[in-house]
């Protein structure tokens, strides 16, 4: 495997290990999950509905 391919593999592995921010649909608190972990709120294990938090500004629609 070339050096460039090895670096791309390392970068991909690092990205999958980073936690992703979700918002609990029930309590509204932020929850950070890594790839492969069970989907549940960190504040209450009974809460299983999570929305992925947008990192960028939210889309705003205007009625014309």
Tell me the CATH number at 46.
2.20.28.30
Q: Please indicate, yes or no, if residue 42 is contained in any of the structural domains.
A: yes
pTM of the prediction? 0.54
Position 60 scores a pLDDT of 64
Cα–Cα distance, 10 to 58 (Å, whole number): 31
Residue 36 backbone zone (phi > 0: left; psi -120 to 50: alpha; other: beta): left
Position 27 scores a pLDDT of 92
Q: Tokens 């990192």 identify what position?
A: 55
Looking at the structure of the chain, the number of domains it has is 1
Task: Identify the segments of the chain with pLDDT beneath 50.
Answer: 16
Residue 47, domain extent? 19-64
Q: Please indicate, yes or no, if residue 54 is contained in any of the structural domains.
A: yes
Q: Tokens 């294990």 identify what position?
A: 45
């Amino acid at each position: 495997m070339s050096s460039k391919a090895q670096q791309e593999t390392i970068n991909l592995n690092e990205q999958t290990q980073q936690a992703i921010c979700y918002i609990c649909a029930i309590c509204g608190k932020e929850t950070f999950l890594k790839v492969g972990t069970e989907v549940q709120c960190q504040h209450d294990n009974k809460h299983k509905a999570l929305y992925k938090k947008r990192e960028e500004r939210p889309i705003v629609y205007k009625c014309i």
